Each structure stands twice: as C-alpha cells, then as structure tokens.
Structure 1
C-alpha cells in the first residue's frame, strides 16, 4: 500500500517554484497514481504563473498555461497527503499558520539534499532556468524515493 495519495508543493505565491515543481513532477513516471498539485501561502487572487516560468517550462516541452494560483487550505492536510515546501521559510510558515499541518517537509531535505531552491523572482530568464534545473534534479530523486516506497509496501 502506498504511503501518500496526494502531493502538494508549497511556495509563497503559487506562481513560480511550486507550480514549476508540479509541472516537472507531472512529467515523471510513478509506479502508482499520485495526485500532484501546488499551493501558495499568500494568494490574494487567482493568477497565472510568472511568464518567465512558462517560458522555461515551454523550453522543456511542458506547459503551465492552465495553472491558476491557489492558497493552501486547512483541508489540504491529511495523513495521505505529502506537503513539500520549496524553502525553509515557507515550511516554517506552514507550521505557524495551519493548526493541523502534518506530513510537511522541505523538498530538498526529503530527498536528502542540502541544496537551497532560491526564488528566482525578479531575476533573469537564466535564473529561472537554473531554478528549473535544480528542481528537476530534486524531483528526479523524489520520484526514485516514492517509487522505492511503493515497491517496499
């Protein structure tokens, strides 16, 4: 039996790193179905991804054109949902602002990495590309980990 049915990536606004992670994860092969989504901690209104994120995703034959930012909700937490924050500040805010926060981890720590996923907001297209490359590497490790867990259950 698999450990999680759902995976939510969390960033500040759900317009950059979290949806990028969602898009990358959805392009990967998993041994079992996993609902993959993203959420933001400060979402004042629904908005699309940052245009530079979309440009980088398109370069990798992926698209987030249908993505609309959504805020993290108390109802997103349960024992079958894995919440992966893209940085320590967002992880801390999840624990501070959500009473029933559970299964909340830092993406890099979850895959035994010390690399920090820096927010490219305001940076060049190359900065967004570097963020994608790091995220792709971490998510590839995540896929291996989740597939191994599936085989062990």
Structure 2
C-alpha cells in the first residue's frame, strides 16, 4: 500500500468519515485512507445522515467509529488533510513537528476554501457536503503521485 492520507474534521462523525469513505471508493488501493477528529468522542458512530448519504453511493460507513487525533496518527500519515483552515492552524499549533504534512482539503486545487460542517443540518445539506468533498477529492487525486 502506498500513500497514507488522514482526513481531519471536528468530531469525526460527518466530514472526515465521508471523505474517508469517498476517497477509499475513488482512490482504491492506490492509497490508504483514515480519519480522526480534533474534538472527537472516541467510539461515536458516524452521523445518521452521513451514513445515509454515503449508502446512497453504495459506500458503507456503518463500521466507522470516531477517534481523536493523536501523535501516532500524525506519524503514520503522509498527508494530514483537515476540512478547514482553522483546523489546519489548530493542528499546526498542536503538532508543529508535522507541519509539512498539513494541507486543507480545499487547498489542493486553485481554490482556497473550507468544507462547511453539515452537523445538525438536513439530509440535503449532507448531500451537498458529500458532493463538495467528492469534487475536492477529484482535484486531490490529480495532485497525488
């Protein structure tokens, strides 16, 4: 297995698990993908709307359990990909030794943008978030070796 990508969001129940599932589907065995949260409650399930939206794409997140970021995950990853610039800045402060690995998901192309948190939103908001993550992952796919 080649490159290792670690997707980061706040609670590891919405955006980063969706990014993990979508990336696994899109990139196959080319990369190893995982996710974690800045403020995750260990063991939480993915949000029901995240489960449903990815199930619509035949991606199963039912085994996902949230986990909090920690040094071991940072060491293992080749790229650490937060959903927002604020999360990237927080990671730089908490893990300065890995600053060269951080790159916000919205920064892989020409655009510089954050992925909005769908938490608490409608199923349609989650669909929009999954669509946005998918688009950004396609840009990332073009950038990785």
Q: State if a TM-score over 0.5 links the two structures.
A: yes
| 2:112 equivalent in structure 1 | 114
With over 3 angstroms needed to count, the CA separation of the structure-2 counterparts of 1:79 and 1:18, relative to structure 1, is closer
Q: Could you tell me how far 1:111 is from its partner in structure 2?
A: 2.7
Residue 87 (structure 1) aligned with residue 84 (structure 2): yes
CA 1:8–1:79: 2 relative to 1, 3 Å: closer
- Cα 1:141–1:38 change in 2 (3 A) is same
Alignment gaps of 5+ in structure 1: none
More helix by share: 2
For residue 110 of structure 1, report the CA deviation from its aligned partner.
Answer: 2.0
Q: In structure 2, what is the Cα distance between the partners aligned to 1:29 and 1:107?
A: 15
Structure 2 residue corresponding to 1:127, chosen from 120, 125, 142? 125
The alignment status of 1:65 with 2:58, answered yes or no, reads: no
Match of 2:19 among 18, 21, 30: 21
Query: 1:79 Cα shift?
Result: 8.3
Structure 2 unpaired stretches of 5+: none
**What TM-score results when the alignment is normalised by the length of structure 1?**
0.86
Moved over 4 A (4+): none
Report the more deviating stretch, 72-81 or 98-107: 72-81
Where 2:26 maps in the other structure, the secondary structure is: coil
Larger of the two Rg values belongs to structure: 1
Matched, 1:97 2:82: no
- Comparing 106-115 with 37-46, which one deviates more in the overlay? 106-115
**In structure 2, how many angstroms separate the alpha carbons of the residues matched to 1:124 and 1:26?**
25
For residues 73 and 142 of structure 2, the distance between their equivalents in structure 1, rounded to whole angstroms, comes to 24
